[in-house]
């Protein structure tokens, strides 16, 4: 199994070196996509065994991920890990996520931030649960953390599903992967992870108004265009979440 890690980064000078270093040795290729950063993000990677793809101007998270995926496929990776450049995900968890990927080929593995949910800011917590419900309906499965950026994609899923990379869809891309991925035969399996909430974290790039709206429009159309997708709603309501490792009965 050949593996790659993609780290989208926009002005992550404080954290990128630690995140990238944490990935080295856990996957075969570490690829940072520096999205028009002007804070010297790429300079922090000098001397590390890391490839840095640089976009002269910011194109958004979706375009950055798509660039990284294209490079990973070119390198022959058959499993592609994604994690955020702001240090919110612990690279040490990659081993467990890849373990789930090996146990569940043809699945999208999501690192689900379940344990410190109470540490998410109140409105984000509510918005995330709300999103999980609609994404679950549209994809016909329970999705315990639809907005997580810590994932493992099988190469076949990346070949089959190529969501919009428009700037305004920056934060829709990962939702699209879950929904269109499940419909293309790649359901999700969740691995519980800890999310790191730093007190000195920079403000989020996620815009609660515009980005929530774009995600909502995407999910709404997916449900509507499939005639309300009642079989999906039924499957979400009646089947348990797929976890790896499976919870003890
Ligand atoms: N390449 C790129 N990455 C982005 C952009 N916006 C956010 N990201 C990355 O996406 C990840 C998540 O963004 P963040 O603002 O932390 O969102 P949050 O964790 O949901 O609050 C981080 O690694 C960011 O560097 C962007 O416009 N371009
Ligand atoms: Mg973040």
Instruction: Report pLDDT digits (tens) over 44-72.
Output: 999 999 999 999 999 999 999 999 999 99
| pLDDT confidence bin for 10, thresholds 50/70/90 | very high
Give nearest CA residue, ligand 1 atom 21: 204
Residue 249 has what pLDDT?
65
Q: Is the pLDDT of residue 147 over 80?
A: yes
Q: Is the pLDDT of residue 190 over 70?
A: yes
* Cis bond upstream, residue 245 (ω within 30): yes
What are the φ and ψ backbone dihedral angles of 16, each rounded to 5 degrees? -60, -40
| pLDDT confidence bin for 247, thresholds 50/70/90 | confident
CA-64 nearest atom, ligand 1? 1
Residues with CB under 6 A from ligand 1: 8-10, 12, 33, 35, 58, 60-61, 64, 84-86, 88, 149, 170, 204-206
Q: Is the pLDDT of residue 29 over 80?
A: yes
Once rounded to an integer, what is the mean pLDDT over residues 161-166?
98
Provide the β-strand partners of residue 6: 31, 82
Give the ligand with the smallest distance to the CA of 20: 1
Q: Are 143 and 111 in contact (CB under 8 A)?
A: no
What are the φ and ψ backbone dihedral angles of 72, each rounded to 5 degrees? -65, -40
Within 10-68, strands assigned E span 29-35, 51-55
What are the φ and ψ backbone dihedral angles of 4, each rounded to 5 degrees? -135, 155
| pLDDT confidence bin for 116, thresholds 50/70/90 | confident
Give the ligand with the smallest distance to the CA of 120: 1
Q: Are 31 and 82 in contact (CB under 8 A)?
A: no
CA distance 52 to 40: 12
Residue 248 has what pLDDT?
78
Residues in the chain: 249
Say which CATH superfamily domain 3-238 falls into.
Answer: Spore Coat Polysaccharide Biosynthesis Protein SpsA; Chain A (3.90.550.10)
Q: How far is the CA of 239 from the centre of ligand 1 (A)?
A: 32
């Amino acid at each position: 199994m050949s593996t790659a890690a993609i780290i989208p980064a926009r002005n992550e000078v404080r954290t990128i070196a630690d995140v990238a270093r944490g990935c080295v040795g856990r996957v075969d290729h570490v690829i940072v996509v520096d999205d028009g950063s002007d804070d010297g993000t790429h300079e922090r990677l000098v001397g590390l065994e890391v490839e840095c793809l640089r976009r002269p101007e910011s194109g958004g998270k979706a375009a950055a991920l798509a660039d990284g995926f294209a490079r990973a496929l070119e390198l022959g990776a058959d499993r592609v890990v994604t994690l955020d450049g702001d240090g919110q995900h612990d690279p040490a968890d990659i081993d467990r996520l890849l373990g789930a990927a090996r146990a569940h080929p043809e699945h999208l593995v999501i690192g689900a931030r379940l344990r410190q949910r109470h540490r998410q800011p109140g409105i984000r917590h509510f918005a995330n649960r709300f999103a999980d419900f609609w994404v679950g309906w549209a994809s016909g499965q329970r999705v315990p953390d639809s907005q997580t950026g810590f994932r493992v994609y099988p190469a076949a899923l990346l070949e089959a599903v190529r969501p919009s990379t428009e700037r305004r869809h920056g934060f829709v891309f990962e939702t699209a992967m879950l929904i269109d991925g499940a419909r293309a035969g790649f359901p999700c399996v969740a691995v519980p992870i800890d999310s790191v909430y730093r007190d000195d974290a920079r403000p989020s790039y996620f815009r609660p108004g515009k980005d929530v709206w774009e995600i909502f429009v995407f999910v709404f159309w997916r449900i509507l265009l499939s005639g309300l997708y009642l079989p999906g709603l039924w499957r979400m309501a009646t089947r348990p979440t797929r976890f790896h490792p499976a919870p003890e009965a």
